[in-house]
Structure 1
Amino acid sequence: MLKLHVQNETSKLRAVILGSAKSNGAIPKLEDCYDPKSRQHVLAGTYPKEEDMILEMEAVAEVFKKYNVKVYRPQLIENYNQIFSRDIAFVIEDKFIKANILPDRAQEIEAINHVISQIDPKNVIELAEECHVEGGDVMPWNEYLFVGTYSGEDYSSYITARTNTAAVLALQELFPNKIVKSFELRKDNINPKENALHLDCCFQPIGTNKAILHKNGFLIESEYEWLLNFFGKENVFEITKDEMYNMNSNVFSISENVIISEKNFTRLNTWLREKGFMVEEVKYSEIAKQEGLLRCSTMPLIRE
């Protein structure tokens, strides 16, 4: 049996699901793109090639091997995008919560049944149908649970709005011992620089008391200010609009002092090293073209 345990974003990683870029399918039609960044690359003819994305993901698998992390991969579904394992489920404490994902992506969860079958069934939770949630919006941080959401009346008109108020309330009921703090995110179907697809596209805690943050990702300034004060200005790395677009906040922590980051994030990686982090640099710029990066393609199962 798998004994799930995730209390925060940075404790030492023991087991993880890493997505797969194999048999990723054809370049999507414009109307089938789930996010503005993929759309932009389809239009520009720069949509990522499968072989490049496979190489990028295997490099991450190698880093996990180096740190003795047990890595699970989804079973192969022909011609299907299975890169972003964080979207389809997430673990909080000892609970495995299935995300109510965009209907077109429902098959993705079936591809990890070999992992789910090893979990005590009473700890596998499926939220009610009206609760929309994806793992990129959900961040356990010890006694807190940070959740990105969009509660505007025009929610249904945004394919980029992935987590709704009903899901935030459901998570509070599931984890009454946690302080669930939701953040309204800026959504845009067309302009990727004005769109925070998930909370981890504009914020991520690192180490024990630090964070990466992008102000414009938050619709309500006071919510951004709350995070700034919670971590303290001197502990926050503020990213620019271009850095947010390039997914600088979407790094991944193997432990409180080891972070996997994209090698082009020079400003961020320099700051991380100055703060005493060990930075494992990988090339992940092709994956990034689908508006997801290291956190999006990994789903932790066990942290110490």
Structure 2
Amino acid sequence: MPLVGLGTWQAPVGVVGAAVADAISRRGYAHVDCAAAYANEEEVGDALRDAMASGAIARESLFVTSKLWNDRRRPRDVRAGLEQTLRDLKLDYLDLYLIHWPVVWRRGTLMQRDGDASIAECWRALEALVDEGKIRSIGVSNFDEAQLEELMRTARIAPAVNQIERHPKLPQDALVRYCQERGIVVTAYSPLARGGALFADPVVSDIAEKHSVAPAQVLLRWSVQRGVVVVPKSVTPSRIEANADLWGFELDASDVEALSTLEDGESVVASPWGTKQKKNVVLRPLLTAIMWPVSKIVRVDVQRMGRSGFWRWAWSEGE
């Protein structure tokens, strides 16, 4: 699994394909991080197909990750979700398939718990798909230590990866250490935080100036130097190239210590079902209650998102 991959979260339809093509064909990337919920897998798949057809990269050299959405926990839905992702990405198999969040929602709903499904049942379905050769390895995303412990009590195949939000503001060092001690690779999403706020921070800019690199390279090097995989998103060719150019310098102990002062424990991800956002203590139960009546008349299918560049809503009569 390459230490640097191209993230596709929030990479818009109409742009993401060109970014993937540029990363693979011109910038040396061999790792692309996707998800059904990113609403762009079909366009990413077009770029992957074209890159392989042109000889820019062979399938065996390409590492593609995708993620199973929160309402796909029952075995038939796990299989259907994977098969749709494989069709969209124009692939015969995935190198890595992750459970996107440690939640279990009713099919076609947002934030409505499915009491008849479980993470353990979902994992068994993923293990079966590994046995069939449709997935090379399986893992999780946004799991904490307790959730990993619970999963591993019944898992036949241990999770290969835990993809988590990680940057100097939210380093999650204890979780990283826990995973690495158990042979679970940690991947950092949002490794640059959000909005470039850290780029202008004097701590980051001073270290960047010291090493004659960009602030983004400092933040990415901080993770890979710890053995953490990074999947920064960019659709700008120069930034895509710079984000992979991390091997000509090394952060020293004083750099790492300075970056540790930026920790404030606050997530930059706006997912109301996440556990790292302080506001979600109030927001999560409120939105769960609001979405209950909505779920009776509106059905959301993330596997169909992105084909027209917007969320597709299908009316249903409830479940």
TM-score between both structures, scaled by the size of structure 1? 0.30
Higher strand proportion, which one?
1
Point out which structure has higher relative CO (alpha carbons under 8 A, 6+ apart). Answer: 1
Q: Kindly name which structure, 1 or 2, has the bigger radius of gyration based on alpha carbons.
A: 2
